[in-house]
Homo-oligomer: A and B are copies of this chain.
Amino acid sequence: MNVAAVLVEALPYIREFRGQIVVVKYGGNALAGSSTLDSFAADVVLLHTVGIRAVVVHGGGPQIGELMERLGKVPEFVDGLRVTDAETLDIARMVLVGKVNRDIVAAINVHGPLAVGVSGEDAGMITASPLDPALGFVGEVGAVNPDILRRLLAEELVPVVATIGSDRRGQSYNINADTVAGAVAEALGAAKLVYLTDVEGIRARRGDPASLVHAATPDDLDRLVAGGAIAGGMIPKVASCVRAVRNGVSRAHILDGRAEHALLVELFTRQGVGTMVAPA
């Protein structure tokens, strides 16, 4: 495609998304290689440049595990979820808010004073309650009050969200970041919710790269989950996409964050990458 053709195709999208909110979930796994973080940060800044109001939501599972290990703390899991006692919560909070969040903020702010780290506890953004008493301080999202995000977006800043919530008495909880990303997108009425992962997208048949699903409705995805085609860590992402689209988010996407500038190509060209979820 020649230069003029790319521009003629991109300009209307640039106009369409101007002023729109795009929530991007950036995974803890992706943070391993710093070149990817830099490339991701550059893309976020370019979106901001043309007036898109971007919100970054991140996790940090591998980094939490690492500090626990250093502190000689043995992780315990129930049904694949980490049991979180008070000390583990303290460690998770320090890592998410005080390390992973900081690294993303720093990578963006190399381009200018744009990013501001926030945690779900700030200004009462995420109200949480225990997901399961057996899991301790693992939370589920009760409500998202997006006021602080709207205020930062109104000031042309980029919020970077660590997924700690709290209850009315000030007790904190660690919450699954995929779930928070969906709930935040819903609460903000985002135009797009994008999961940057380390897979190409959703497959209709496990292990079959040729079965990549390019577009799906929430009902399609329900069927794939029910049929067992979707499993493991992909389940909360898919559930969040389904729920967000059913609750007013226009489009949700599961993309391969390892591809260069995947965000830009997804937003500004007609050709899709990964899997798009849209209402029927």
Q: Is A214 an interface residue (CB 8 A)?
A: no
A6 adjacent to B8 (CB under 8 Å): no
Q: How large is the interface on A (under 10, 10 to 19, 20 to 34, 35 or more residues)?
A: 35 or more
Q: Is A118 an interface residue (CB 8 A)?
A: yes
Q: Is A113 an interface residue (CB 8 A)?
A: yes
Nearest CB on B from A119, distance (A): 7
Nearest residue, chain B, Cβ from A4: B261
Which residues in chain A, 121-166, are within 8 Å of chain B measured between CB atoms? 121-125, 145, 147-148, 151-152, 155, 157, 164, 166
Q: Is A229 an interface residue (CB 8 A)?
A: no
Q: In the assembly, how many copies of this chain are there? A: 6
Interface 9-residue window, one of A23-31, A87-95, A201-209, A219-227: A87-95
B94 adjacent to A265 (CB under 8 Å): no
Pick from B4, B50, B116, B122: contact of A11, CB under 8 Å = B50
B residues less than 8 Å from A109 (CB atoms): 121, 123-124, 166, 170
A49 adjacent to B15 (CB under 8 Å): yes
Q: Is A46 an interface residue (CB 8 A)?
A: yes
Q: Is A260 an interface residue (CB 8 A)?
A: yes
Cα separation A90 to B1 with both chains bound (whole Å): 41
B93 adjacent to A99 (CB under 8 Å): yes
Contact with B along A40-62 (1 / 0, CB 8 A): 00100010011100000000000
Q: Could you tell me which A residues sit within 8 Å of B by CB distance?
A: 1, 3-4, 6-8, 10-12, 14-15, 18, 42, 46, 49-51, 67, 70-71, 90, 93-99, 101-102, 105-107, 109-110, 112-119, 121-125, 145, 147-148, 151-152, 155, 157, 164, 166, 168-170, 172, 260-261, 264-265, 268-269
10 closest A-B pairs by CB? A98-B98, A113-B124, A94-B98, A4-B261, A97-B98, A94-B94, A6-B6, A106-B170, A116-B122, A15-B49
